[in-house]
Amino acid sequence: MGEQVTPLRIGMVGAGKISGQYLATLATAGNLRLTAVTDLDPARAHSAAATAGAEAVGSIDDLLARDDVDAVLNLTIPAVHAEVALAATAAGKHVYGEKPLAATRAEATAVLAAAREAGVRVGCAPDTVLGTGTQTGRKAVDDGLIGTPVAATAFMTTPGHEAWHPDPEFYYHPGGGPLLDMGPYYISALIHLLGPVVRVTGAASAPRTEREIAAGPRAGQRFAVEVDTHVTGILHHANGALSTLVMSFDIHGSSLPTIEVHGTKGSLSLPDPNTFDGPVRLWPARADGWQLLPVSAGHERAGRGIGLADLADALAAGRPHLASAELAEHVLDVMLTLLDSANEGRTLTATTTWERPASAG
């Protein structure tokens, strides 16, 4: 028999749409146990808690005061990610949160400083990059299958989340938009593949001032757009590679790929970084088509929350966790620098960096 694992006890703040995917991972991860749930909607908190034999509590303060909460799973809206993380660290709890880490650089810096002062860990989504899709692609790059990386492309093109989300307004308020909402998946993957970003050139627009909810009980209601909804740019990586990025809530149909990486000896095609797995294909120089690569790295059959499970393992082993707040801070900085570049009409230098994180799986 193996050594028995003492689960990290989790208090979940926020029981909205994304929580179902985390609950599925919490139900199967032997090193995690959900003990408490709170949400602004008590009915949602009770429903989520019931699935795991946890307790629904009335407020964040009540949750943070519990002795059976070692770490907070922060699934709140982006505008309050930092507020919840700071409250958790002040209570001496580890934190793992949804992306982005915070809405501003100052908030991100404050969260990291508070965690260091409290001696607790902070992790941040996306952990999709720990799956077999991105990690198999990374191993192909590391093994030299495409030679020296030259360029990459990353495209996220949708007509907007109001097409499916019943309460989509927060996607269009400060802290939202296609870049801050979906960019973390793509930019985190590009950093795993190619390393940190040193400079950014961006452009952005907001073609519509209002949107209409298309799904759920509020269908037909209109709301204001307060952020850019089409963002494009060039990321200059420290290794010399250039990544072209398009993040849009204004494209109704497209045949663009998700992520491709091109080098001196070939090209790679990777699956959607908002998923954990999928085909990774190689087009070697002078070949006549794509070749499917076997899975060679990453967590298989992973789901949202694998980053939190890795944090628990890392705590027990005394090693760094992979879905780190430091990486998330660099991703946030890259995104905000891209938006600043778009506003100023010039290339700007990123204010942070991050060593390429260890491979997963």
pLDDT in tens, 57-90: 999 999 999 999 999 999 998 889 999 999 999 9
Alpha-carbon gap, residue 150 to 334, rounded angstroms: 19
Residue 13 DSSP label? E
Answer yes or no: are the C-beta atoms of 61 and 91 closer than 8 Å: no
Q: How far is CA 263 from CA 152, 187, 234, 273, 295, in A?
A: 9, 18, 17, 20, 20
Active site residue 99: yes
**What residues in the chain have per-residue pLDDT under 70?**
1-4, 361
Which residues are 262's β-sheet partners?
Answer: 151, 267
What are the pLDDT digits (tens) for 218-227? Answer: 999 999 999 9
Q: Write out the residue limits of the CATH 3.30.360.10 domain(s) in the chain.
A: 129-298+327-349
Q: What is the pLDDT of residue 222?
A: 97
Answer yes or no: are the C-beta atoms of 184 and 126 closer than 8 Å: yes
Domain 129-298+327-349 CATH class label: alpha beta
User: Taking the C-alpha atoms of 347, 353, 355 and 359 in order, what is their torsion angle to the nearest 10 degrees?
Assistant: -70
Q: What is the pLDDT of residue 2?
A: 40
Tokens of 280: 């990774």
Alpha-carbon gap, residue 129 to 306, rounded angstroms: 10
Radius of gyration of the chain (CA): 20
pTM: 0.94
Cβ neighbours of 193 (radius 10 Å): 27
Alpha-carbon gap, residue 324 to 221, rounded angstroms: 38
Alpha-carbon gap, residue 7 to 45, rounded angstroms: 22
Q: Write out the residue limits of the CATH 3.40.50.720 domain(s) in the chain.
A: 8-124
Q: What is the pLDDT of residue 4?
A: 56
Q: What is the pLDDT of residue 1?
A: 32
Q: Which of 17, 99, 139, 265 is catalytic?
A: 99
Q: What is the pLDDT of residue 164?
A: 93
Answer yes or no: are the C-beta atoms of 130 and 310 closer than 8 Å: yes
Domain 8-124 sits in CATH 3.40.50.1000: no
